[in-house]
Amino acid sequence: MRLWYNPASPFARKVRIVARETGLAEGIDEVNTVVSPVKPNAELARENPLIKIPTLAVPGEGTLYDSAVICEYLDSLHPGAPLFPGAGAERWRALRLQALGDGILDAAVLMRYEGVVRPEALRWGDWISGQLEKIRGGLSALDRECAGWGDRFAIGQITAACVLGYLDFRFAEQDWRAPHPALAQWYAGVAQRPSMKATLPQ
């Protein structure tokens, strides 16, 4: 399998963590790829019409995207404890938590593009505040919920960990820890996992 990723991408990090947590990493050829919404990557465009990472090519099966689909696909390939619960309330809770994390990441990545891609004269303060509101609300929800996670590190927790790693990487000045002590404590623990250490954003 071939994975188009970038070490800075939090969505690609989800996939890379799942690959490591499930013991599948050795079977995946990780291709470091530069993407930009304003400079389409021609090679990636041939695989994924959305021209986004992560994208996974699976021999004989075609190409998969986005991160949620790739993570669930990888989870179907290993015999260990599932990272996506199979059915019932636990599954919906896990998928909703993943969606919460993905939504925070969408807002954070859009904020990042606003700061580094959009020409300064075209930036719009209200739009940036709207994205920040989603990040703040999402972090508060994670902070309220994390006490109930125990030592689970399934798809929802993996996504939450990628959110916090990305905020440290791109928005360190926002100091998400101070207003979210429970989340900070949870993150200090999971950040020690080998899968997290091996995929630190760069």
Residue 13 interacting with ligand GSH (CB under 6 A): no
Size of site (CB under 6 A) for ligand GSH? 13
Please report, as residue ranges, which positions from 62 to 91 form the binding site for ligand GSH (by CB under 6 A). Answer: 66-68
Output the CA torsion 127→133→138→140 (10° steps).
170
Nearer to ligand GSH among residue 41 and residue 184 (C-beta): 41
Q: What is the 3-state secondary structure (H, E, C) of 18-48?
A: HHHHCCCHHHCEEEECCCCCCCCCHHHHHHC
The answer to whether 159 and 14 have CB atoms below 8 angstroms apart is yes
11 lies in the site for ligand GSH, by CB under 6 A: yes
Is 10:162 a contact under the CB 8 Å cutoff? yes
> Is residue 47 near ligand GSH by the rule CB under 6 A?
no
Only segment of 61-69, 84-92, 141-149, 172-180 that touches ligand GSH (CB under 6 A): 61-69
Residue 74: CB minimum distance to ligand GSH, A: 13
List contacts with ligand GSH (CB under 6 A).
Answer: 9, 11, 35, 37, 51-54, 66-68, 102, 109
